[in-house]
Amino acid sequence: MAKAISMREKKEKLDTVTIYIMGQGYKVPSSLTIMKAMEYAGFKLKRGVGCRAGFCGACATVYRKLGDYKIYANLACQTKVEDGMYLTQLPFVPANKAEYNLDEIKPSASTMLRFYPEIARCLSCNACSRVCPQDIQVMDYVQYSLQGQIEKAAELAFDCIQCGLCAIRCPAEIPQYHVATLARRLHGKYHMIAPDTLEQRVKEIEEGKYEKGFEELMSLSEEELKKRYVARDFIDQKKA
Amino acid sequence: MIRGYPESMRKSIDKVNKTRDKRIDQIMKDLTLEEREKVLKEFHPDYNPAYKRTISWGQNKGDYVPNEVADILESYPIYDPDEIDLSQIDYDVGILIIGAGGAGTAAALWSVYSGVPNDKILLTTKLRLGDCNTVMAQGGIQAADRPEDSPLIHYLDAMGGGHFKNKPELVKALVSDGPKIIKWHKELGLMYDQNEDGSFVENAGGGTSRNRMHCAKDYTGMEIFRNLKDEVINNEIPLLEFSPAVELLKDENGRVAGALLYNLETKEYSVVRAKTTILTTGGFGRLHIAGFATTNHYGATGDGIVMAYRAGAKLRDLDSTQFHPTGAAFPEQIVGLLITEKVRSLGAQVLGKNGEQICYPLEPRDVEAASIIRVTKSTDNYVETPTGMRGVWLDSPLIEEIRGKGTIDKNLAAMKRMFARFDIDMTEDPILVHPTLHYQNGGVELDENGYTSVPGLLGAGEISGGVHGKNRLMGNSLLEVNVFGRRAGITAAKEYKRGKKPGKLTLSHVKKTIEQLDALNIKKKRFSPIILPEYRSEAVRDRLIQLFESSL
Ligand SMILES: Cc1cc2nc3c(=O)[nH]c(=O)nc-3n(C[C@H](O)[C@H](O)[C@H](O)COP(=O)(O)OP(=O)(O)OC[C@H]3O[C@@H](n4cnc5c(N)ncnc54)[C@H](O)[C@@H]3O)c2cc1C
Ligand code: SF4
Ligand code: SF4
Ligand code: FES
């Protein structure tokens, strides 16, 4: 497709590339991310934008490059534009999330299958892992979920930012990232048990053990409080 | 480009890589209190009068704040109050929660836990659920749950960090609820990092005297938020996305009684009436205070402080703004994004262009930021990028020299991934940093139950002021969001049960605002809340016209 070039674009002095946003060509500075390039081109973003830092998964973008049959996908806020990219953002990913009461279920294969029976349909095609912008082995965590290896599934899926790209590519129609949430929550609740010291501290606070101490600290003048602050001892700052 | 860096920067990197062995045991001295004060006065943006002025009207008239904050407070509404029909109510609820970040979702859940039927709640948010500062938090959340720690020590740390200007009751609430919040999170199934023996991994943070920073790798905020979000859906709490509030509504008794929402896609407004309204709209990073790039999400435009101020709520501590010492300065595509403090906690040093240390790496945030600005502004010991951005090196490879191979993979996966996307390997080469706008220290004044100074209006989270005084410690805001989100939810549930119905809705407070603004004779009319920052190129903005709406 030949792009029409306006007089304004001809005058642009910056080093530019041509990208096609939903089919329409724009000349944009070559140093920009896809997200900033769209804004430069004149889009006021509402969908497909969020943290702008690779953490929220709102900006999933699918693209091809001229003369290259491959489909690429990445985060618009973390990907530099390339000449000849033609792209579209995913404004929304339709994917059902099951509803459950975590207190009433157990970490097991049958739980995973009860809420997401479609995981049994996984074809092991690996399309999900290949598209994941976080380089997560998505197929593997789906398989672990199916086998009831909840811990492995949860850990593999930990870096998921819920962009939904995997679900869009899946021929078995699995909403992988929701499966991952269930696995992580089951693992976090039932396997990663909090140390007793936590419960003890909560109890102490509820029983009012620190009330006197607070009363005293809160009655101090700023000068006296400063003295206490400066005199604090430090413990274990080099360890975790 | 050689492994992500242009040749011009490579020369300096070679020096950094060559001096690493010599530096490994070299400890920079931290500054004395007098030296700290000097560098702050000379180089911290908070102390630069060019960036600040006083608020010219209203309950905080005379407060000295950043120009950008004064600008949004001295702005006209973005709609015409005379065009709004308040007689037609679109949503009539018990509790309206504005802003679905960490604080908003926590408030919604605790309203439900406290017995409010879910269909009596409305949670509304600006963009997609998950567009918020909470998901971006990397480092951790503080809670004093170890035997050698106590809420009292946490209290002292937080007060000292805030230069003793915090509101004591709020700090007491913050630290006393800390362990309870972690317990709640564990019930929800959060995967906080644990050691082999089952104890929590708890790191040190700037200004803490005990290790109490709980974390979930460097995705702590994401792990918290995706669990709260999952629970909001499981509890079927009614949610509106892409529907920012643009104004609070009051009733004839002067009580806040709901809000005016705007559908970003269909462009229609809707009217919400509520017995209690909770403001949880977060911070103001996208105002780019003092011209700085920011770590904050796209929707962090300080809308809540504008709406609250017009409704008569007291603000506090907005004179101090948190600049994070280490934002990315290269590559261009990620300028301003956060390089978590954890990189320095794990051992990375801060270096000038020849590879020598320029300051102690773990000064309090304001001092560290000022020390780096000093180097880039008043010396030639900085590194300049091809686009003219100045920065100093953060020697990340040193982390693995000290703690062994694999440390970065295990503890800084998000950071490593961010640089790898631009062909930079932070385990092999240092990364370039410059201070960046990070956190709104002050905001709407609250009490420990979440009440603002205006009846009917509660608040929680980064929008609020008082918890952190003049300076927030890392890890205390994720805690604040949960503690005060929870408290606001519980308070709103009590108000709900008390059952006073709101009276007739009005925008008279906004009309009064307009009168006060008229009296100021501001030359250039501005409009707020900002809702979305403007990043379109000037060439495009010069040509914008309205077609369809004006022909109606
Ligand atoms: C990059 C980064 C790293 C951080 N790291 C840490 C850390 O390690 N530890 C720590 O304790 N803190 C950290 N913080 C700070 C902490 O994450 C935030 O202060 C906190 O999460 C704020 O939570 P919140 O719920 O108040 O606001 P947010 O989470 O920002 O949520 C506010 C919500 O309100 C919405 N909103 C805004 N305006 C409107 C409107 N007009 N109408 C409707 N909705 C609106 C927003 O879109 C957003 O969804 C970090 C912050 C950032 C940016
Ligand atoms: S697992 Fe799926 S939703 Fe999660 S980051 Fe990867 S592609 Fe996105
Ligand atoms: S894309 Fe779907 S079917 Fe293919 S491996 Fe992934 S989960 Fe299985
Ligand atoms: S905008 Fe959040 S990941 Fe790109």
Q: Is the minimum CB–CB distance between A32 and chain B shorter than 8 Å?
A: yes
Contact residues for B316 (Cβ-Cβ < 8 A; gap 6+): B60, B442, B443, B445, B465, B466
Exposure b/e, B428-465, CB count within 10 A at least 16 = b: ebbbbbbbbbbbbbbbbbbbbebbbbbbbbbbbbbbbb
Ligand 4 binding pocket mutation candidate from A51, A87, A93 (most atoms within 8 A of CB): A51
Q: Is the CB of A127 under 6 A from ligand 3?
A: yes
B162 and B290 belong to one structural domain: yes
Least confident of A4-18, B47-61, B271-285, B502-516: A4-18
* B230/B282 same-domain check: yes
For residue B228, how far is its CA from the centre of ligand 3 (angstroms)? 27
Q: How far apart are CA B537 and CA B334, in angstroms?
A: 18
Residue B398's domain comprises 7-30+321-437
Please tell me the predicted confidence (pLDDT) of residue A158: 97
Ligand 3 pocket residue status of A157, Cβ below 6 Å: no
Q: Is B199 on the interface with A (CB under 8 A)?
A: yes
**From the CA of A122, how far away is ligand 3's center (Å)?**
5
CB-ligand 1 contact for B108 (6 Å cutoff) = no
Instruction: Please identify, by atom number, the ligand 4 atom nearest to the C-alpha of residue A50.
Output: 1
For atom 2 of ligand 2, which residue has the closest CA? Answer: A166
Question: Per-residue pLDDT averaged across B184-198, rounded?
Answer: 97
Expressed in angstroms and rounded, the spacing between residue B103 Cα and the centre of ligand 1 is 8
Chain B neighbours among A 169-208 (CB < 8 Å)?
181, 184-190, 192-195, 197-199, 201-202, 205
The reply to whether B455 touches chain A by the CB within 8 Å rule is: no
Interface contact A10, partner B, CB < 8 A: no
Q: Are residues B337 and B398 in the same domain?
A: yes
Residue A70 is predicted with a pLDDT of: 94
Of A12-21, B64-73, B535-544, the least confident: A12-21
Distance in Å from the first CA to the final CA of chain A: 57
CA distance B508 to chain A (A): 31
Q: Ligand 3: does its nearest atom lie under 6 Å from the Cβ of A168?
A: no
Q: Does residue B144 have a pLDDT over 70?
A: yes
Could you tell me if B372 and B239 lie in one domain? Answer: no
Q: How far apart are CA B302 and CA A139, in angstroms?
A: 41
Backbone angles phi, psi at A76, to 5 degrees: -65, -30
Rg (CA), chain B: 24
For residue A50, which residues of chain B lie inside 8 Å, CB to CB?
A: 127-128, 130-131, 135, 297-299
Other residues' Cβ atoms within 10 Å of the Cβ of residue A63? 24
For residue A240, is pLDDT > 60?
no
Neighbours of B114 (CB within 10 A): 16
Between the CA of A177 and the centroid of ligand 3 the distance, in Å, is 12
* Strand B91-98 relative to strand B269-279, pairing: parallel
Q: Percentages helix, strand, coil for chain B, rounded to the nearest 5? A: 40, 20, 45
> Using a 6 Å cutoff on CB, does residue A170 contact ligand 3?
yes
Widest Cα–Cα separation across chain A: 77
Q: Is residue B262 part of a domain?
A: yes
In this prediction, residues B453-460 reach a mean pLDDT of 98
Label the pairing between strands B91-98 and B121-124. parallel
| N- to C-terminal Cα separation, chain B | 54
Say which DSSP state B122 is in. Answer: E
Residue of B131, B179, B209 lying closest to A56 (CB–CB): B131
Ranking B275-289, B299-313, B314-328, B353-367 by mean pLDDT, the lowest is: B353-367
Is pLDDT at A39 greater than 80 in this prediction? yes
Q: Which residues contact B351 (CB under 8 A, 6 or more apart)?
A: B16, B357, B358, B392, B393, B394, B395, B430
Position B552 scores a pLDDT of: 67
- Kindly give the pairing relationship between strand B315-316 and strand B91-98: unpaired
Q: pTM of the predicted model, to two decimals?
A: 0.96
pLDDT of residue B183: 98
Enumerate residues 6+ apart whose C-beta is below 8 A from B217: A158, A159, B193, B410, B411, B413, B414
CA of A41 vs chain B CAs: smallest distance (Å): 7
pLDDT tens-place string over residues B492-541: 999 999 977 899 999 999 999 999 999 999 888 999 999 999 999 999 99
pLDDT at A15: 86
Tell me: pLDDT of B388 over 80: yes
Q: Using omega within 30 degrees of 0 as the cis cutoff, is the peptide bond preceding A133 cis? A: no
Question: With contact defined as beta carbons under 8 Å apart, do B139 and B213 qualify?
Answer: yes
Q: Decide if B146 and A197 are in contact by the 8 Å CB cutoff.
A: yes
Q: Are B383 and B463 in a shared domain?
A: no
C-alpha span between B381 and B387 (Å, rounded): 18
Tokens encoding B154: 């946490």
* B391/B458 same-domain check: no
Asked if residue B351 and residue B211 are part of one domain, the reply reads no
Cβ pair B176:A205 closer than 8 A: yes
- DSSP assignment of A147-177 equals HT-HHHHHHHTTT-----HHHHH-TT---HH
The one catalytic residue in B255, B310, B344, B374 is B374
In the DSSP assignment, the letter for residue B77 is -
Q: Name the nearest CA neighbour of A111 among A169, A190, A164.
A: A190
Residue B528 lies in a domain: no
DSSP-assigned beta bridge partners for residue A94: none
Q: B529 in a domain, yes or no?
A: no
Show which of B506, B529, B546 is a domain's final residue: B506
> Quick one: B88 and B150 in the same domain?
yes
CATH number at residue B344: 3.90.700.10
- If you search the block for the tokens 């979920």, which residue do you land on? A145
Cα–ligand 3 centroid distance for A57 (angstroms):
19
The reply to whether residue B333 touches residue A32, judged by beta carbons under 8 angstroms, is yes
Percent residues over pLDDT 70 in chain B:
100
Whether B164 sits inside 8 A of A225 (CB atoms) is yes
Chain A residues with beta carbon closer than 8 angstroms to that of B211: 235-237, 239-240
Half-sphere exposure of B286 (CA within 13 A, CB side): 23
CATH number at residue B276: 3.50.50.60
**What share of chain A in percent tops pLDDT 90?**
88
Residue B301 and residue B325 share a domain: no
Residue B63 falls inside a structural domain:
no
Output the average pLDDT for chain A: 94
> Given 3.40.50.2300, 3.10.20.30, 1.10.540.10, 3.40.50.720, which CATH number is that of A13-90?
3.10.20.30
**Mean pLDDT over all residues of chain B?**
95
A172 lines ligand 3 (CB under 6 A): yes
Is the distance from CB of B521 to CB of A22 less than 8 angstroms?
no
pLDDT confidence of residue A237:
62
B contact residues 403-432, partner A, Cβ 8 Å cutoff: 413-414, 417-418, 421-422
* Residue at B513 is within a domain: no
Q: Could you tell me if B387 lies within 8 Å of chain A, comparing CB atoms? A: yes
Whether B303 and B338 share a structural domain: no
B458 and B335 in one domain? no
CA gap B506, B247 in Å, rounded: 11
Task: Provide the pLDDT confidence category of residue A11 given band limits of 50, 70 and 90.
Answer: confident
Q: Please tell me whether residues B330 and B209 are part of one structural domain.
A: no
Percent of chain B with pLDDT over 90: 87
- Tell me how many domains chain B contains: 2
Angle of CA points A232, B180, B412, to nearest 5°: 70
Instruction: Point out the residue among A102, A214, A228 whose CB comes nearest to the CB of B172.
Output: A214
d(CA B467, CA B484): 10
Give which of B109, B126, B128 to mutate to test A binding, by max A Cβ within 10 Å.
B128
Q: Which of B437, B467, B492 is the last residue of a domain?
A: B437
Q: Are B377 and B43 in contact (CB under 8 A)?
A: yes
Are the beta carbons of A54 and B333 separated by less than 8 Å? Answer: no
Which of A39, A188, A233 faces B536 most closely, judged by CB atoms?
Answer: A39
Q: Which residues pair with B236 in a beta bridge?
A: none
Q: Is B374 a catalytic residue?
A: yes
Fold of A102-190: Fumarate Reductase Iron-sulfur Protein; Chain B, domain 2 (1.10.1060)
pLDDT at position B27 is 86
Q: Which of B187, B195, B201 sits opposite A189 (nearest CB)?
A: B187
Length of chain A: 240
Chain A residues touching B189 at Cβ < 8 A: 102, 184-190
Note the Cα B204 to chain centre separation in Å: 21
Q: Which of B109, B125, B132, B145 to mutate to test the interface with A (most CBs of A within 10 A)?
A: B145
pLDDT surpassing 60 at residue A238: no
Which ligand is the nearest neighbour of the Cα of A132? 2
Mean pLDDT confidence for B376-397:
94
Residue B436 has pLDDT above 80, yes or no: yes
Choose one of B390, B407, B437: the last residue of a domain: B437
- The residues pairing with B459 across neighbouring beta strands, listed in sequence order, are B279
Ligand number nearest to the C-alpha of B418: 4
> Which DSSP string corresponds to A20-52?
EETTEEEEEETTSBHHHHHHHHT---SSS-SSS
Provide the residue ranges of all domains of chain A, joining segments of one domain with +. 13-90, 102-190, 196-230
Q: Look at residue B498 and tell me if it is in a domain.
A: yes
